[in-house]
Amino acid sequence: MRALIVEDNRDICENIAAYLEKHSYILDFAYDGISAMHLVLTNPFDVIVLDLMLPRMDGLSFWQKLRVDAKVQTPVLMLTARDTLDDKLKGFEAGADDYLVKPFALQELHARLQALYKRSHGKTDNLLTVGDLTLNKSTLQVHRSGRRVDLNPTGMKLLQRLMEEAPSVVARDALETLLWADEPPDGDALRSHMYKLRQAVDRPFESPLIHTVHRIGYRISEDA
């Protein structure tokens, strides 16, 4: 997922970067509203994290120019130190897709950005997401960190089942039944198909998502 962080506090930016980059986000930063507008108009983003108190152009002015003048519909999560109900309501009335009060937990920021990404890419029940990996069940398109992942039909079946059950373990016999019903081939054909799936989903990227649970089965998760 590619995100633009619009925040003038460099320490907050560094903390966000250290956390989200571990989850394979591609991040750009702007420290004022005018610089942020230039980045939005020249680059595609999946989500924008927007602080309301910005130099040169405040967050609400940025949002209005983004939506009204530039006609950009990228989802926006607004950040603010104002935590009253009235302030939150004003943020949503201004057009925020989501709203987070400082100080915030980085885990919550990540979860909210994932939810915004899902909503902006179609119906959530058609989009499976694990970390930076997505599978659209309607189009059968798979992406990781914004890059297309090509799978054969067998790999697609395995990945969909693993993502539907994530982060739970899927037993070997359940996966074998999925592929071959009651007539699995001789040998360990499942291991061969899982190897090919890992080559496509994990090998080109920094951290593995598919994990073997010895003598039981497989699971897909950000955590080992």
Per-residue model confidence (pLDDT) at position 123: 47
Per-residue model confidence (pLDDT) at position 177: 92
Quote the DSSP letter at residue 68. Answer: I
Per-residue model confidence (pLDDT) at position 82: 66
Within 10 angstroms of residue 68's Cβ, the number of other Cβ atoms is: 10
Within 10 angstroms of residue 58's Cβ, the number of other Cβ atoms is: 16
Does residue 91 carry a pLDDT above 90? no
Does residue 88 carry a pLDDT above 70? no
- Distance from CA of residue 135 to its chain's centroid? 11
Angle at 41 between CA 36 and CA 43, to 5 degrees: 90
Domains of the chain: 2-120 (3.40.50.2300), 125-220 (1.10.10.10)
Q: What is the pTM of this model?
A: 0.55
Does residue 193 carry a pLDDT above 80? yes
